[in-house]
Amino acid sequence: MKLAEALINRGDLQKRIEQLRARILANARYQEGEEPGEDAAALLTEVQSLQDALEQLVVAVNLTNASTILDDGRTMTEALAHRDLLRTRHSILTQAADASAGVGDYGGYRQLRSELRHLSALPTARVRQQADDVARRLRELDVLIQQANWEADLSD
């Protein structure tokens, strides 16, 4: 199985577990004289089985990520960590540029000329350029990660 397939399966298992959680909670109690819609104990058994399968899959994915080398020489684990950093950095830069420009919740306007003006403490254009550069690097890294996901075989 390819790493990408395992990641798809992991997502499916996580969704199924969350659906079962909701069904368990909905059927854990019922009114006297009524029958529950589903057997909560059987659902619990099913969810525990799926959780065990998810654990095995996550271990295999993590082992694969640690041993898969990308074209740029980093392991998949290193690339994923760097991708998380780039996402956070892009978010901060974008929000800082918006705040500096007075966009959205960060802005405000003056109604009277006598009110104090708000001045930018950051060079908005330069911060936006940095955010664009980070976004480009993030896209390039994402392409490397996706390519490796479809080429790497899942570790046993």
pLDDT digits (tens, 9 = 90+) for 59-99: 999 999 999 999 999 999 999 999 999 999 999 999 999 99
Cα separation, 77 vs 13, in Å, equals 22
**pLDDT reported for residue 105:** 66
User: What's the mean pLDDT in 120-133?
Assistant: 94
Q: Which two tokens stand for residue 87?
A: 């996402």
Q: Is residue 147 predicted with pLDDT exceeding 80?
A: yes
pTM score of the predicted model: 0.81
pLDDT in tens, 39-49: 999 999 999 99
CA distance between the termini of the chain: 10
